[in-house]
Every structure is written in C-alpha cells, then in structure tokens.
Structure 1
C-alpha cells in the first residue's frame, strides 16, 4: 500500500471531513475507477467500513494512525504537540459567570493559571482553559495529524478544533463562535526519515538552534523513531521548505551539496577562461592573416592583383 504517488492518506483524510465521494473525487482530481480501487483497499486493510446507510466511515485504526501504518509514506508530515488559543467573535453571555455555570451543571473543573482563577475542564480528551476572552486548548500528547505536507496536517488540526469547540458548546449550552485561532505551539516531523532512522540507531541526539532558539530535533524521546522534527515558533514555516529541500536532495542522491555547487561553478569558470584564451588565440591568427593580405594587396599592381585572383579562381 505504499508508494510516492498513492492516494490512500489523502482519501482517508478527506473521509474525516466528508462522506461525499463525488466531492472527494473532484478535490483529489482522480477518476471514479481509481477512487473505488483505493476505497476497496482501505476497507480490506481495516481503515474504513460501510455503515448502515452505506457511507464509508473511519475505523478506530484509521483514527489512531502510527508511523507503522502502511499507508504512510516516507517523509510525509506529522503534526503534533498542539496548543491552540481560540478567540471569540463576540462577547459571550454570562461568560463572567462560567464557574457558576460549571457548578450548576456538575461539570468537573480545576482552577489554573498564575492566580488560580481560570477554570479548566476536559472535552474530547483535551484540557481546555476557559480564559476571559479566549479558550486555550491543549491537544492530547499522543495525537497526530498525518498529511502529505505540513499544510495538510494543519488543516486536519483546524477540523479537530471545530469538533472540540462544538462538543464544548453542547456541554456548556453556549454558542461560542471562534473568530481567530492562534497556534501557540506546534511541531511538524518528517516521518520514516532515513537520516533520523540512522541517527536513532546510533543513539545520537541532534538538536540545532539559531538566534531564535531550537528549531530542528532528532532524539526519539517519545519513541516515535525516524522523525526529523521542526519545533519552535516557526515550525510550520520551516517544515514546508525543509520537506521540499529533503525530497529534492533525495532525487539527486544528495550530490547537490554546497561543495558540489562550488566545484561546478569553478569548473564553469575554468571553462570560460579556457574558451576566452582559445578565442584570443584564434583572433590573433585571424588578425595576422588579415595583415598579410593587406600587405599583399598594397604591394601588388592592379594588373598583378587581377592575375593573382584569376589564378585563384581558375584553380
């Protein structure tokens, strides 16, 4: 089920959001025949099933994918370790009385924060801080969002936020409408990465920092294995170009290194110098020939000029 250009993961991720196969087919730009093939394979391998209405739904296996799943290709993205701040579009009625509401509804909560005044509850397995003007949502520690790239991983995380806020509204009897979602924390890894696998086997820990702090990590601290991970405030912006860089280098066998580029430029420069030298030599020969012809022309009488050209053409 593996392969560079397979649609197993995109189809599975599309089914997380919609069961409309026509929309999925158009979104992924694949034929009905191809879509049916992938659906049969996903069903056969236990990732989806048909419900009573005949729609495809995800199994528990597909809801909790791991790096060992066959449908996950090398060097795709795993989004994880999310903390989201969800801001409201407008003031929520009686939000200043939220602790009282929790007590009346017998919802277990704990006061957290520096002053221990912010109620924290649990919804869909996530800890949620009910702050004055926003929600702070801590994702599950083992939750992963697999996508072909970081954009797709982040998109799946957005969909999960919608589900969490919806469940919170039902629990509290509120109508919270997010106007802005800020990713306070996010990590993105390239899974089944050859470099990370190699360093994990050697027991090496790699942590790379710049002036803004740590941004690249290989340590296998969570036992995920073989992950080249971007962390820090710019993890999302960093992961996308890093993934492109890695895949481009894989295609060339990592031959296009800075040294390779420098050597290539030097060879080009040497060739240009050689060509220039050859051109100069050729030009000197042409100049000498031109000068000789001028001398011959000046030394010959008109009649002799005519005769010499006649002899040339006659030959």
Structure 2
C-alpha cells in the first residue's frame, strides 16, 4: 500500500469484487452512516437476485412505491377522488347496495356483466348518475345481457351525495339498449320500477359522515391553527403519519405540534401512533388583511338577536347594528362567471334563484337566510338581521364575520373562489347603528316628534322607534360607526354628570351678577385712582415751592 498517498490508504473497496469505491461507483445510500461496502454493479446484482427469489414482496414494494409517487404528484385512489368516474359507480353505489340489501355478494372490481349477486341469486349491475344540465340522468346499459337487473341510482351532484331516485330495471326489458335516459318531466312513467329511498338516504348520510375530512386551510402552514387541525384529524381516525402527508410537513414537525397540543390538554397519547382526543380547542380568530378597500374582520362570540332573548335584557344606550349591505369584489375575467353561465349552473344544480331586472342582469339567491345578488363584477349581500353589542365596532365585526361565512358558503356552493391575492375584497355599502332605550329618543317618541340631522354629506342622525326600542340612530353609509361612538360618548358623559337647563340658567345668572359686581368695583377703583392722581400732582407742586429759595 502506498503510504505517501493518504487517500489511497483510506480508500474502501467492494467486499464482493474488490473494486475501489468512489463517488461514481458507490451509491450514496450505501455510504455513511451505513458504510455498506458494495459497489453499484454488485449492489444491483444483489437486488436483482433478491427480487427473483421474493416475487411477492417485490410486487408489494413496487406497488407501495408507485402509490407514494402518485400521491406526491397529486393523484388519489378512486374512492378518495370524487371527480373520478369510478367514485360514484363503484365506491358509492356498490357500498349503498351492499348496506341496504341483505346477503349481497360483491364481485371483484371490473367483473364483466354485473357487480353483485343478491340473496335470490340474481345478478345485478349497478348504475349511478348525477343530474345533467339538461335535467335528466343517463345510465349506460351497453347492451348488457348478463345482468338480470339494473339498479339505477340518481344523485344530485358528487359533492353533496344526496340520492334523489332509485329504480330497479329488469334486464329483459332494457338489456337491448345502449343507454337509458330518465327525464324529470317524465319521471312519473318510471314509478313501477321505483325503490324506497329511506334506507338509501340513511346509508348515504352514513357514508358522508365517514368520508368527511377535517377542514384545513390551504396555503402555508404558518397560518395553520395546529391545535384545531390536529384534533380534527385525530377525531376522523387518521394516523399521525398520514396527517403529516396530508399537511405536507415532516413527521418531526408534526410530532412537535402533537406534543405541544398534548401539553395544552387537548389530546393524550394512548400508544404508539395512537392519540385520544380529550377536548376540542376554540377555533382560531379569522382575519382579513386591511387596506383602503379591505376591512378587518374577527370572529366574535355569537351576539344576541330578538329571537334569542327579550328586549329588556339590553342595557340603555347599547348598540343595535342592522341594515347591513356589503359589496364583495369578483376577480376580473373569472372563468364561467357570466350571466348566462350562472343561470345554467344554478338551474342544473337545482339552486333556486330569481333573475334581477337590472342593467347587466344578475341572479338573486338565498344563502343562510340572507338575500345575495350575483353580479358580473361583484356580489352584494343584503342583511336584515340585528347584531347587538356594547360597542358599534364589536357589532359591526360580528356582522362582517357573518357575511364572510356567507361568501365562503357561496364559494363551496358554486365551486369558485372570490379571493384576490389571498384576500376577500369588499366594502360596506350600508350600515345603521342605533343606541337602544336612549333618553332623547324616548322624549321625542313620547311627544310624537321627529328628529333628523343632516350635514353637507347628507342625513347622519335620526330618532327611530323600531321594535319599540326608542333608538337614537346614526345612518350615514360611510361614518355611521364613528358617529355612533361620538353620540354614545356624549350620552354616557351626560349620564355620569347630569346637567339640567335650570342648572345652566342659574349658573349663567350667577355669572352675570358677578360681572355686574366686577363692573361696579371697577368704576369705584377708577375714581379712586383719579383722586390719587390729583393728590400726587398737588403734593408735587407743594414740594417744588418748598425747594425754591
């Protein structure tokens, strides 16, 4: 061995062929910390021999590797992918049949001709479909002469999974067809083949509950509510390893947050990879970043409404926020966001709407009890509800949080996102804030008089008696909230230090008397100064005469 070259002295050789190991012929995975001294050629040969000797294990390993690679690319199995054609026909429809009917034998996937065999030894081919834009359901029979019956399930859509109809069609009457279409206008003609939906609906409800996944915010995990997300996943029965994959974080990061959540008392470790949920954390407050056109919204505790409590429970000069109208901006050139496309979508998905008779068109829908206008460039929410709080800002934030939830509901309903650079951009087009049981309002209402105050920007203050609450109300679209705070501070100050008109007049009379006394004293002081000045002059003249010789 050459002692003059330390690299040669410290070099490693393959234990099989004796070749010197370098970075070119030595796999990095075989180097530190493994120190597996086998060159690439010998290593590949060993792997090949092992695969030939263990074909079953090799097949399983390759399948797992392929599955991991597909998941990294965003692919999912058909039973997790609602957009896949097999999801509705195989995963949902076959599970529904096996749960609804007794003693059903399910066939392997892609079994030719039929999917299940019932307890009467009848072959049943399951067909499922969602409502099309034309208002019908299409079932592909494909001239199938093998099946004895065709079970046709009609759903509203893939997202909600609501079964609308079910028919059991005899194969002898329909196997000569390529496809069968059932229209809503002629649905009564299929009544003789109709099945009871009660068990099917219960089964779909059960499948929905088991397929429901916890809500996770998209985007960076920096904004993730870890406690709430972890608890939701654990409640759904998902193991920590799979949670890390779904969140796209290393297992070490997830373990850190699991330990942190456990220290807060929300979960407890029961074994390796097994955690028990002890209690649920409070939902994190949601935010919308602020700008000149973007407001800040926080989720506040539920405020009281007139249907939830009696009016006497509200304090004097507490705030009732109402008559909200918010305008939410829609991104320009949003795909399929046109008047005609919206009509087609709402009609196809059985979403009730009324056309708006305004320039440019639009549709009005009801979401969470609120009227919502769908326009080409914006979405307008009309809210007649009342939001009660001690301060106008609190009531307004609660109302805006409600409107934000409506926008997210619409996004889920229409399968669209209205976010612009990660934000929902909106403005408040109308807002009213009223001080309830206000003393001034009570006085005006008892005398039957009205009070409306305007400035250069229009009407901003009035006396109202909605719900018999004697309200002093600020109504300006832009400054109603700040105006309400000023009025509220004024009345609170007046309540803390009550000042009557008699008190003011008496004080003013006292001030006038003091001023009269001051004037009289001033006159006498002026006269005394004059006399003093005359005496000084006479004294000066006498002194001058005395000094003369």
Calculate the TM-score normalised by the size of structure 2: 0.38
Q: Aligned-pair distance for 1:76?
A: 1.9
**Unmatched 5+ stretches in structure 1:** 1-17, 21-50, 305-315
Q: Which residue is 2:528 aligned to?
A: 285
Secondary structure of the residue aligned to 1:174 is coil
The 3 A distance-change label for structure 1 pair 61 and 278 is closer
Q: Which residue is 1:230 aligned to?
A: 474
Equivalent position to 1:295, from 522, 533, 538: 538
User: How many residue pairs align between the two structures?
Assistant: 248
5 Å-filtered alignment, 1:168-207, equals: 168-177=410-419, 180-197=425-442, 202=446, 204=448, 206-207=450-451
Counterparts of 1:301 and 1:230 in 2: how far apart (Å)? 80
Query: Retained in 2: the 8 A contact 1:75–1:190?
Result: yes
5 Å-filtered alignment, 1:1-315, equals: 52-53=279-280, 55=282, 62=304, 66=309, 68=311, 70=313, 72-96=314-338, 97-114=341-358, 117-139=361-383, 141=384, 143-177=385-419, 180-197=425-442, 202=446, 204=448, 206-208=450-452, 210=454, 212=458, 215-220=461-466, 223-231=467-475, 233=477, 235-255=480-500, 268=511, 271-272=514-515, 274-300=517-543
Query: Retained in 2: the 8 A contact 1:75–1:192?
Result: yes
Secondary structure of the residue aligned to 2:343 is helix
Counterparts of 2:334 and 2:517 in 1: how far apart (Å)? 77
Counterparts of 1:137 and 1:299 in 2: how far apart (Å)? 98
The 3 A distance-change label for structure 1 pair 126 and 208 is same
Q: Aligned-pair distance for 1:216?
A: 0.9
Structure of higher RCO (CA pairs closer than 8 Å, 6+ residues apart): 1
The Cα offsets for residues 280-299 of structure 1, whole Å up to 9 and x where unpaired, read as 42133133224314423432
Q: Aligned-pair distance for 1:129?
A: 0.7
Q: Aligned-pair distance for 1:235?
A: 3.9
Q: Which residue is 1:24 aligned to?
A: none
Max Rg structure? 2
The 3 A distance-change label for structure 1 pair 133 and 124 is same
Q: Which residue is 1:5 aligned to?
A: none
Which segment is superposed worse, 188-197 or 259-268?
259-268
Counterparts of 1:188 and 1:84 in 2: how far apart (Å)? 15
Q: Aligned-pair distance for 1:173?
A: 1.0
Q: Aligned-pair distance for 1:83?
A: 1.8
Counterparts of 2:449 and 2:408 in 1: how far apart (Å)? 41
Q: Aligned-pair distance for 1:170?
A: 1.1
The Cα offsets for residues 197-220 of structure 1, whole Å up to 9 and x where unpaired, read as 4666x4836353648458413233
Counterparts of 2:424 and 2:360 in 1: how far apart (Å)? 26
Q: Aligned-pair distance for 1:137?
A: 0.7
Counterparts of 2:312 and 2:519 in 1: how far apart (Å)? 59
Q: Which residue is 1:12 aligned to?
A: none
Secondary structure of the residue aligned to 2:448 is coil
Counterparts of 2:527 and 2:393 in 1: how far apart (Å)? 61
Higher-helix-fraction structure = 1
The 3 A distance-change label for structure 1 pair 251 and 263 is same
The 3 A distance-change label for structure 1 pair 100 and 150 is same
The Cα offsets for residues 91-124 of structure 1, whole Å up to 9 and x where unpaired, read as 4221112222223333222212336931111212
Which segment is superposed worse, 102-111 or 232-241?
232-241
Counterparts of 2:461 and 2:544 in 1: how far apart (Å)? 86
Which segment is superposed worse, 180-189 or 205-214?
205-214
The 3 A distance-change label for structure 1 pair 135 and 280 is same
Query: Retained in 2: the 8 A contact 1:77–1:153?
Result: yes
The 3 A distance-change label for structure 1 pair 129 and 276 is same
**What RMSD in Å do the two structures reach over aligned CA positions?**
3.9
